[in-house]
Amino acid sequence: MVAPLKVGIAGLGTVGAEVVRLIEQQSRTLSSRCGRPVRVVAVTARSKAKKRGLDLHGIGWAKTPLELASDPSIDCFVELMGGAGEPALSAIETALKSGKSVVTANKALIAKHGLKLAKAAEQFGGALNFEAAVGAAIPIVKTLREGLAGTAINRVYGILNGTCNYILTRMEQEGLSFAECLKDAQRLGYAEANPSFDVDGHDTAQKLAILASLAFGTRVSQGAVYVEGISSIAPEDLRAAAELGYRVKLLGVAVRTAKGIEQRVHPTMVPKTSSIAQVMGVTNAVTIDGEGIPPITLVGPGAGGAATASAVVADIADVARGIRALPFGRPVEKLRAIEKAPMERHEGGYYIRLMARDLAGTAATIATRLAEQKISIESIVQRHADGVDAVQMAGKAAPVPVILITYATSEDAVYRALDAVQRDKVISGRPQVIRIEKN
């Protein structure tokens, strides 16, 4: 009989506890699929006394993650503690350098130290699997690294943060403000007490940096990602998008361009007819555009104990089968360095919402400034606020919302035109600009 794969798990929070349960519940299936049993033989966590609803009888308890990682009785070290630094980093390094395989769901660690850890895995022969770090139950890492190994990728983009997608969904469907939806997301546990990491786009940026490396053979670099969050999005933007046939999503986009690999996270208008526009609530989705194939969209739960645990156990099963894929699909030394692409060079269509002063000559001034930058307008919508015509406030006409959709142009051209419009004093407040992904 083939010896079992002996697993040690560091971290028994929601995900770690669910991994222990899942391995126990699926023991026969795992043994059949992997050709050998999979057994949890040791664990560690901050508190041994905490009630977790787990039967840990017969399972060893290590005092520290480092002790577990160096335990010669385990074959696979599973890191589910989280955090971009210690103790996760040293524990994983120790496990890899002792020839063990490692499975982790730690996106922050992989985004920051993934190349260093991948090099150790290559050198000492163990696997470094991190499917659960991006999209939880969505098998996007294996799809890019293995399933599409023979396909040249042109673009990978997606909804990678359930909190933001939930907020934008509620705003659209119920006409609520960003602040109202965020408060409700916090009440329901979808958003943290300090939600900035999610709503400012940094969580998505970490995941996108990992996907870009897998898709394009570049070195993982979160610093190379342009990041913009969703806090500026207003209900009127979502209403306008709906009228124009679009929906607003926070997307992470990595695309091959003539100038190199562009990586960006920002609110984006996508056609309602696109697959990604149908993804609502806390669900995640990733679309891959490859040479010679139609776009592939993977949709599923992007967070949660059960979803994340399923991906962790799938990675453990690969270790049990003896699969040793290169962590980023290529040797670390073959991964290309990447620089942050200046967003002013980005080319595409734009949604622009201006609060124009309801005065003679305003429209002509705006049109002139756009024409000076060679910006062509696909559509224009002008309406009076709340449907009231010629509102008078303190003897002056109230600003009128004007919504423009441009044909493809460069970002620097858009902002040069808007700067000129503001200097002309024909608009009030700051213009709202949202990028458009046509396909």
Q: Which residues are catalytic?
A: 207
From residue 367, alpha-carbon distances to 344, 380, 421, 426 in Å are: 21, 11, 9, 12
Which two structure tokens, joined as six digits, stand for 162?
């359930």
Q: How many CB atoms lie within 10 A of CB 275?
A: 14
User: What string of DSSP letters covers 46-109?
Assistant: S-SSS--S---TT-EE-SSHHHHHT-TT-SEEEE-S--SSTTHHHHHHHHHHTT-EEEE--HHH
Give the ranges where 222-304 is alpha helix by DSSP (H): 235-243
Mutual orientation of helices 27-34 and 305-321 as an angle, nearest 10°?
40
* DSSP H or E stretch at residue 121: helix 107-124
In whole angstroms, what is the distance from residue 7 CA to residue 14 CA?
18
DSSP state of 161: -
Nearest CA-CA partner of 83 in 103, 61, 112: 112
* DSSP H or E stretch at residue 403: strand 400-406
Which two structure tokens, joined as six digits, stand for 68?
């577990």
In whole angstroms, what is the distance from residue 335 CA to residue 326 CA?
12
Contact 63, 91 (CB under 8 A): no
